[in-house]
Amino acid sequence: MTQIIQIENTSTDHLDLLVKKQRDFFNSTQTFDIKWRKEQLKRLKKAIEQREEDIYQALQNDLGKNRVESYASELVFVLKEIDYTLKNLRRWALPESVPTPLFLQISSSKIYYQPKGISLIISPWNYPFQLALAPLIGSMAAGNCTILKPSENAPHTSLLLERMLKDIFDERYIALAQGEGKKVVSHLLQNNQFGHVFFTGSTTVGRKIMEMAAKNLSPVTLELGGKSPGIVDKKVDLKTAVRRLTWGKFYNTGQTCVAPDYLLIHQDVKKETISLIKNNIKEFYGDIPLQSPDYGRMIHKRAFDRMQQLLNENEFQIIHGGESNAEALYVEPTLVETDDFDTDLMREEIFGPIWPIVSWKDEEELYELLSHHPNPLAAYMFTKDKRLWKNFVRHFSCGAACRNNCIVHLANPHLPFGGIGESGMGNYHGRNSFLTFSHEKSILSSNSWPDPSMKYPPYKGKMKWLKRLLG
């Protein structure tokens, strides 16, 4: 791992100046023009393409990511999101005609999509390129100015973003604030009203963001996490199920908000499932994952230490892995068996390469186990039983769910991405990003005639006619 570089806080004076500059620029209405918005998105795409190798290197330095994984999970995701937005933006931005009730005739009703103003985007470290730029694309598409606060825990990617955005955009339009989130974000939220605040991160910090944003009534989208379950039924293509789940769990070294955080395996296939997981880990990363160019690292020492703390609990049995290397921030893909949900391992989102395994015998027990962690960001059920799947979709509350697949729902721009309850509020991707950063302004336009007298006082004798008209 490359030595961590230090990032200084953007001064509070400069933060205040940025907000003022962006408010003035937004009030000029230049960002309202659709053609201009598309030109800015094209500039962003070109800048990303020109810096492809630099992006791979920054992600390698911060997370130990293989360039293939960086391309698939970060770079191409952002490029495809820009392409999809460019293709559809003009249509999304058109006023939408909606019906007008008979008693309001002769009038027309439309919804106009208006920019909200200045967006504040607070992005995390686990996918530091994608999760900074994907919401930025939505803010730009909607016609806003934006201040982006990337994570100081991915400093190489944060500096790359800063230099790239400075090269292509005036800070009156797009600016980047660096430094410790606790100080920089707190100052921004407590001293300014934003058109929209978009936060991706932990539930604990999400609560604090919402509390601070409430002071100035800034609307908030929270993309959080939670313990997303992976479920393996006995009626299943087991080899495919295990391969996809293992890939999803250890992708980005388990540092993925929609990773299958724990695994619920039907008791009839538990032994075979565990054997297949072990085989897949070996197939993916070799006998010694520490030496694999395809297996990443924990983001920083605090994350590494937390994994060690979780592994030092005594309420479970390690059945595979468990090795670590503090200097390399390496934690081996690790499987543990447990039935105790009253431990940190089973209470908290793991966000690392430790995989708890729990067995279940029937549908009643499955839902009892799932009840320990309601409203996760995602859920994955592998089954050929259509009745079981339909019941699951109907009864289990989660941000999103996949049948016979894992984490790939993120790649469909037609599907909204977001959580519910503890896993967040609001959504984005594709048109949903445009809607999140837009104000849906209701417009009713009427003729001067007719102008029935029954709606005006005095009201004596008018009730029966009013009931006929409105009833």
Sheet containing 107-115: give its strands across. 96-98, 107-115, 438-446
CATH class of 12-224+421-443: alpha beta
Give the active site residue among 74, 152, 162, 257. 257
pLDDT (0 to 100) of residue 319:
96
Residue 269 CB-half CA count within 13 A: 21
Residue pair 429/413 in contact by the 8 Å Cβ criterion:
yes
pLDDT (0 to 100) of residue 1:
43
pLDDT (0 to 100) of residue 5:
77
Q: pLDDT of the chain along its 471 residues, tens only? A: 445 577 888 999 999 999 999 999 999 999 999 999 999 999 999 999 999 999 999 999 999 999 999 999 999 999 999 999 999 999 999 999 999 988 788 899 999 999 999 999 999 999 999 999 999 999 999 999 999 999 999 999 999 999 999 999 999 999 999 999 999 999 999 999 999 999 999 999 999 999 999 999 999 999 998 899 999 999 999 999 999 999 999 999 999 999 999 999 999 999 999 999 999 999 999 999 999 999 999 999 999 999 999 998 767 889 999 999 999 999 999 999 999 999 999 999 999 999 999 999 999 999 999 999 999 999 999 999 999 999 999 999 999 999 999 999 999 999 999 999 999 999 999 999 999 999 999 999 999 888 888 888 998 888 888 888 777
Residue pair 302/329 in contact by the 8 Å Cβ criterion:
no
pLDDT (0 to 100) of residue 3:
54
**Strand pairing category for 379-382 and 174-176:** unpaired
Burial of 441 (0-12, 13-18, 19+ CB in 10 A): exposed
Distance from the first to the final alpha carbon of the chain: 72
Give the phi and the psi of residue 441 in degrees, each rounded to 5. Answer: -90, 120
Cα 63 from Cα 68, distance rounded (Å) = 13
Give the active site residue among 74, 81, 162, 223. 223
CA angle 89, 438, 90 (to 5 degrees): 15
Residue pair 155/62 in contact by the 8 Å Cβ criterion:
yes
Q: Would the pTM count as exceeding 0.85? A: yes
Q: Which of 436, 414, 408, 427 is nearest to 87 (CA)?
A: 414
Residue pair 444/151 in contact by the 8 Å Cβ criterion:
no
Q: What is the pLDDT of residues 264-318, one digit of tens each?
A: 999 999 999 999 999 999 999 999 999 999 999 999 999 999 999 999 876 788 9
Q: What is the pLDDT of residues 11-56, one digit of tens each?
A: 999 999 999 999 999 999 999 999 999 999 999 999 999 999 999 9
Is 223 an active-site residue?
A: yes
Cα 31 from Cα 145, distance rounded (Å) = 8
pLDDT (0 to 100) of residue 4:
59
Domain boundaries, the chain: 12-224+421-443, 229-411
- In DSSP terms, which residues pair with 331 in a beta bridge? 324
Q: Which of 323, 395, 389, 353 is nearest to 262 (CA)?
A: 353
Which CATH fold would you assign to the domain 229-411?
A: Aldehyde Dehydrogenase; Chain A, domain 2 (3.40.309)
**Strand pairing category for 334-337 and 317-320:** antiparallel
